[in-house]
A and B are shown apart, each in its own frame.
Chain A
Amino acid sequence: MIVFQLFLVLVMVVAAVAAAAFKDLMNAVIACALVSLMASIIFYLLHAPDVAMAEASIGAGLTTAIFIFAINRTVRQEENEEAD
């Protein structure tokens, strides 16, 4: 059980770092959805089924859709960072 939880947390954190690192915003958004999905499973394991449902439908589902619509109407690539 603890191993499973540890695994979920690790995946979540790695996905978050990936969301921060990706230059392609679409990839970053998908990584973000993965974070929400992992969070939702963790919520379920923490005995919060209501929150797990809400996070899965709103966090992982609708948020991603909203992001994708917005990216469609703007730009997809993050600009390169200059050294500062």
Chain B
Amino acid sequence: MFTGENIIQIVSGFLHWAYAQVGISALAGAIDPVITAIVMFGFISVFVMFLVWMERKVSAHMQSRIGPNRVGPFGLLQTVADAIKLTTKEDVKPVNRDKIPYFIAPIVAFVATFMGMVVIPFDKGMVVQDLNVGILYIIAITGFTVIAILTAGWSSNNKFALLGGFRSAAQIISYEVPLVLSVVPIIMITGTLSLSGIVEYQQQAGYWFIFPQIVAFIIFITSATAEANRAPFDIPEAESELIGGFHTEYSGVKFAMFFLGEYIAVVVSSAVAVTLFLGGWLPVAFLGFLHLPGFIWFLIKLVSVIYLVMAFRWTFPRLRVDQLMDFGWKVLIPLSILNILITASVWLLLYGKGAQ
């Protein structure tokens, strides 16, 4: 069967054959992860470009427009053209910027979100590094973006950017809490922090966690949207209030890095949502006869979740900064704590003390 695991085996077999040909078999252990990372990087770049195109198409059709349709078939190459434009364009910098933080901020924003991809299992065994603390790792590493955004807002020496940076700090810190709390019930049930382990548990149990944990799913998607600074929680950017927020003064490649960082954050959080709640690479039950490889199922689910996030953006107004805090602290956190309590008590009732 043509599954993700087979692909990995074939590829690694090919690689080891190639190493033997050039005589560096001894180094294989060191080179393998590097090559995997490069492949990952390529895949993610292409996928993010597809997402940008998808977002524009989705928004266009929601607004009864056509969207990009000039470059390539259905405008698919539009993002490539945009990327070329952004990379070749002049990098306009404010004179009184704080030079080093201004330079570092977009790199941190890009890298921090990108690192999250390392532990996402696309298929059984198709994962760069299957950490046993995968969820913790993702939550920790994506939290880095707040530093990037705050640095960007501060170093641009622009009033709107500074306001945006402060808003972002307040927002991301308060939405980390419900994000983590919504994941806790699943960890309680499965007893593992590894993402692959959670998917395997769903396979054995025969159901996806979205069914017992619908509340957690809603809380997770909401907080993940807020974490990625996307509408309706895009107050750090808020183009009708703060023009561009923290990236007001960024242009060219640096802007592209922020832009890509935002989309990768969407991919990472949606991928985690798929893994935790939608059964990762498992096939949809009533469509099992299709016998598609696991990573195709994963991508289908991923794109559906991302569509949901995009539909939020193009339907809802933006919250005000204090209402955002209120919503986070007064609605999401109590709900997620309640969810933990209910899950724990039901599990105790059902399985007794020896649950697991």
Determine if chain A interacts with chain B.
no
